[in-house]
Structure 1
Amino acid sequence: MKSILKISLTLLLLCFTTNQATAQSSKYKCMLQMSNYMGEGAYIVVSLVNAKGEYVKTLYVMGDDKKWYKTLKEWHKFYAKKPENLSAKTGASVTGGDRSITTIEIEDAKINKGFKLRFETAVEDHKYHTTDIEIPLSTEGIAAKTEGNNYIRYVRLNKI
């Protein structure tokens, strides 16, 4: 009986450590510099997307008033199907010329596997951009300063 208990505990411990190893993640400081546009603060969502461009996970939302989430049209379709508690992943919207520094957490297993970070932007009474920036989730992509296409001037990531 004692040997069965020892085997069971050993298997349980092995499963626990294996499960922890597959869920390893790293934190990154995300520095975002906005371009000098005129208008309200931008709502920006940072999402993990797969190689096909499909949303996998919401990493951060800049803008905490839920009534404006629908202006981030493509992300909102994903969010509406798979709502999640975003309270720990939200911060203030960012206005033209401002800088935002946040922390995002990325699963290590997603690095160098074809995933991307998508920065989607919306500004009240201005054009919406599904892909203001997409950063390849690769060793090189994370290390590089990535120029934006619209409201975002650039994004730089640094592993913490």
Structure 2
Amino acid sequence: MTRFIKTALLFTALTFARPNTTFAQATNKYKCMIQMTNYMGEGAYVVISLINSKNAYEKTLYVLGPDKKWYNSLKEWHKYQAKKKDNISAITGASVTGGDRSVNVIEIDKSKIDAGYKIRFESAVEDKAYHVKDLEIPLTTEALSAKSEGTGYIRYVRFSPN
């Protein structure tokens, strides 16, 4: 019985001593609401990316658009994705059409907030213009609590803690 208790205590100590367990969450979850402009045409494919201080892609946060054959219309992100090969299966949803809105949950690493990063919204619609920077938001606590205006198919974006 003593050996069992020692093993159980060791297991418990190792479980709680490990860094990055579920007890020490390293990300914040945000609801990201995207309101689209009233354009005519097919649904927009939108990719939400984390951009570092050197203006380079660091991570794909979410993809609106389920059909991989159209990902090449998001030209700059597609170049990054072809090299990096992020697993995006869990962060992919439906495209969004003109005038509609989409609400998705994205995870952002806490260490990236207020550290010189940006969130880029890249958008494309079949047979229409491509917007590499439909919207770029500085990844700051202040910007995450504000309404941000898009310049292409996106009218505005709002974040709220999830």
Query: What's the TM-score once normalised by structure 1's chain length?
Result: 0.88
1:38 and 2:79 correspond: no
* Shift of residue 84, structure 1, vs aligned partner: 2.4
The answer for the alignment partner of 1:3 in structure 2 is none
1:63-96 per-residue CA deviation (whole Å, 9 max, x = no partner) reads 0100000000000011000112211100000110
Question: Does the CA contact (< 8 Å) of 1:23 and 1:107 recur in 2?
Answer: no
Query: What does 1:1-160 correspond to in 2, within 5 Å?
Result: 14=17, 16-17=18-19, 19-20=20-21, 24-160=26-162
Structure 2 regions of 5+ residues with no counterpart? 1-8
Question: Does the CA contact (< 8 Å) of 2:59 and 2:86 recur in 1?
Answer: no
* Shift of residue 10, structure 1, vs aligned partner: 6.5
Number of residue pairs the alignment of both structures matches: 155
Partners of 2:117 and 2:76 in 1: CA distance: 17
RMSD: 2.1
Structure 1 regions of 5+ residues with no counterpart? 1-5
* Shift of residue 22, structure 1, vs aligned partner: 7.7
| Structure 1 outlier segments of 4+, above 2 Å | 9-14, 19-23
Percentage of matched positions with identical amino acids: 59
SS across alignment from 1:79: helix
SS across alignment from 1:27: strand
Query: What's the TM-score once normalised by structure 2's chain length?
Result: 0.87
The answer for the alignment partner of 2:6 in structure 1 is none
